[in-house]
A and B are shown apart, each in its own frame.
Chain A
Amino acid sequence: MKIDGVPIDLLTKNMLLATGNVLQIFFLTILFSIPLGFIVALARGSRFKIISVPTRIYQLIFRGTPLMLQLFFFMYGPYYLFDIGFGRFNACIIAFVVNYAAYFGEIFRGGIASIPKGQYEAAKVLGYSKFQTFMRIILPQVVKHVMPATGNEFMTLVKDTSLAQVISVGEIYNVATNASSRYFSTVPLIVAGLFYFIMNTVVELSFKVIEKKLDYYRT
Chain B
Amino acid sequence: MADDKDVLRDVWFGRIPTCFTLNQDEATEREAEPYYLLLPRVSYLTLVTDKVKKHFLKVMKAEDVGEMWFEYEGTPLKWHNPIGVLFDLHAFNTVLPWSITVHFKNFPDRDLLHCLSNTVVEAHFMSSIKEADALKHKSQVINDMQKKDHKQLWMGLQNDKFDQFWAMNRKLMEYPTEEEGFRYIPFRIYQTMSDRPFIQKLFRPVSPEGKVHTLGTLLKEMYPVALPNDGEQKLYQVVIHGIEPLLETPVQWLSEHLSHPDNFLHICIIPVPTE
Partners in one complex: no
Residue ranges of A at the interface with B (Cβ–Cβ < 8 Å) = none
